[in-house]
Amino acid sequence: MHRIGYLLTDGFQVMGLATQTVFEYANKVAGEDFYVVQNFSAEGGDQRSSLGVAIATRKASEAEQIDTWMVCGVGNPLESPSSPEERAFLKRVGRDARRIAAICTGAFVLAEAGLLERRRATTHWYFARDMQTRFPDIQVEDDRIYIVDGAFWTSAGMTAGLDLALAMVEKDLGEDVARGVARNLVMHQHRSGGQTQHSEMLTLAPKSDRIQNALNYARKNLARALTVEELAEEVNLSPRQFSRVFTAETGLSPAKAIEGLRLEAARLMIEKSRHPLEIIARETGFRDRRHMREVFIRGFGVPPQSMRRDVRAGA
């Protein structure tokens, strides 16, 4: 039996509790009550979420042996710092707990308790720079879904907490159980911790349907050599007009944007497949493996081989 304690702070984001469903379904898939989940707070009693939903909690100091503590984040950690009681409690349990995890801005609570000093951590990208400024001894990686550093797990935005919880299930009960949980929860994929928080499609964020349609078309046809003329024809614009509108709406030229889409697609294949790099380069539209390597170094600062080694090491 593995006991999981959720530490709720005043104004917690209720989305953080969605991760409890991962452990619930892990029990169902495994066919045993491996996980026992309970809600706690520093003072006990009802805790209100940012939406005003009240959740009954037990007093954390009275908890029996907890194997994993999960700290839920709040909407704005700069305006709602942790209490002295919460920090003192986490400092104490930090010496004994098998794992202590933070969902989203819950990483600020761990940082305020001094548990992340000289460690790697992540949090929601919006607050990552603030976290690095306030806690310079922490290596904040603002572009990761989740990070595991020893006993301390931190995740990015709220939905990334689901990936973190699923990774815990995989570590505790194996890949087959984790895959079954993902299937039951209709999770599109189990994202690795090294995956970026950002999507190239979201970053571009065009304002018109025409440019969005052009991007969708490009993403579906990355294996082919895509030209401005082809994209312009797809959305019924002249090449010159298409280039002008595309750059105005996305801030990038069509060629630069498509390179970003190729880079993102290649990274996902490296993380999720065992295909040789030559095949990945061909499937994502790079001229060859050498060309993909050049773009990787320019975009990520590391070659594809290093990224694949890091993913396998993390796994």
Q: Give the DSSP per-residue string, 164-215.
A: HHHHHHHHHH-HHHHHHHHHHTT-S----TTS-S--HHHHH--SSHHHHHHH
Q: Please give the structure tokens belonging to residue 198.
A: 């950002």
- The string over 241-255, giving b where at least 16 C-beta atoms fall within 10 Å of a residue's C-beta and e elsewhere, is ebbebbeebbebebe
- In one-letter notation, the amino acid at residue 209 is D
| Whether residue 72 lies in the annotated active site | no
Cα four-point dihedral sign 295, 297, 298, 300 = positive
* CA–CA distance, 81 with 116 (Å, rounded to integer): 16
Q: Provide the Cα torsion 118, 8, 15, 142; round to 10°.
A: -10
Residue from 15, 60, 104, 168 carrying the catalytic annotation? 104
**Strand boundaries in 64-165, DSSP class E:** 68-71, 99-102, 120-121, 139-140, 146-149, 152-155
Query: Which residues form the catalytic set?
Result: 104
